[in-house]
Amino acid sequence: MFLLAGDATWVEGWLFTTWLLSLYTTVTLWMYLKDPALLAERDRRSQSASASTGGRRQTASDRVSVLLLFLGFAAWIVLMPLDARRFGWTPALSLSLKTFGGALLLLSAFPLFRAFYDNTFLSGVVRVQSDRGQRVVSTGVYAFVRHPMYLGIVLMFTGTPLLLGSAMGLGIAVAMVVLLAVRIDAEERLLADELDGYAEYRRKVRYRLVPFIW
């Protein structure tokens, strides 16, 4: 980010980078120490092996979804420093907007971490993990929304461009939220059809992503 920004003293860039690396390290260490089965599940290399032992394979549409989300994230990371720092395509945002963005970014860490903490079946792909005895998780953050990790991602994608001062980052964030919504719809249809108790869970916890909205 700092090579693209052309400024190693970019304070907002350091705030975001420190937050991202700290969260990634914390979640990875927690899985390594407390839930190695989840760490293995989220390892792409484990997907074919786990599917062969009885788990449902990732669908072709989900592979496309994951690829688009990855490409969108890469574009988001690349364009924000170019926009906000090197070329200044976006006019400088007010301190209040940047502070609000920073608050959203900090807030996003809670649902992101707790999703891993509460749900040992939090796979990186959409599949029913019959090989791991998957069951419906309805406690912790899952008692409020059905997809708390995606809620954290939406908060991150919204807060970061405001903190960094990038309208292009916000534009990509909108596209990413749409992709997440499409993936949520496909994931819920699969879980309702194939995971015992998920249809009842949907009736109990009404909101998929944002409490009181959707």
Asked whether residue 55 carries a pLDDT value surpassing 60, the answer given is no
CA dihedral in degrees (103, 106, 109, 114; nearest 10)? Answer: -70
For residues 176 and 61, the model is more confident at 176
Asked whether residue 48 carries a pLDDT value surpassing 70, the answer given is no
Length of the chain: 214
Confidence label for 49 from pLDDT (cuts 50, 70 and 90): very low
Confidence label for 136 from pLDDT (cuts 50, 70 and 90): very high
The stretch 4-14 carries a mean pLDDT of 97
The stretch 172-192 carries a mean pLDDT of 94
- For 7-46, give the DSSP string: -TT-HHHHHHHHHHHHHHHHHHHHHHHH-HHHHHHHSGGG
Q: Domains plus CATH for the chain?
A: 2-204 (1.20.120.1630)
The stretch 13-29 carries a mean pLDDT of 97
Distance between CA atoms of residues 154 and 149, nearest Å: 9
Give percent of the chain above pLDDT 90: 83
pLDDT score recorded for residue 125? 87
pLDDT score recorded for residue 52? 42
pLDDT score recorded for residue 53? 41
Residue 63's CB: how many other CB atoms inside 10 A? 13
Confidence label for 126 from pLDDT (cuts 50, 70 and 90): confident
Task: Fill in the DSSP letter of residue 87.
Answer: S
pLDDT in tens, 71-101: 999 999 999 999 999 999 999 999 999 999 9
Asked whether residue 145 carries a pLDDT value surpassing 50, the answer given is yes
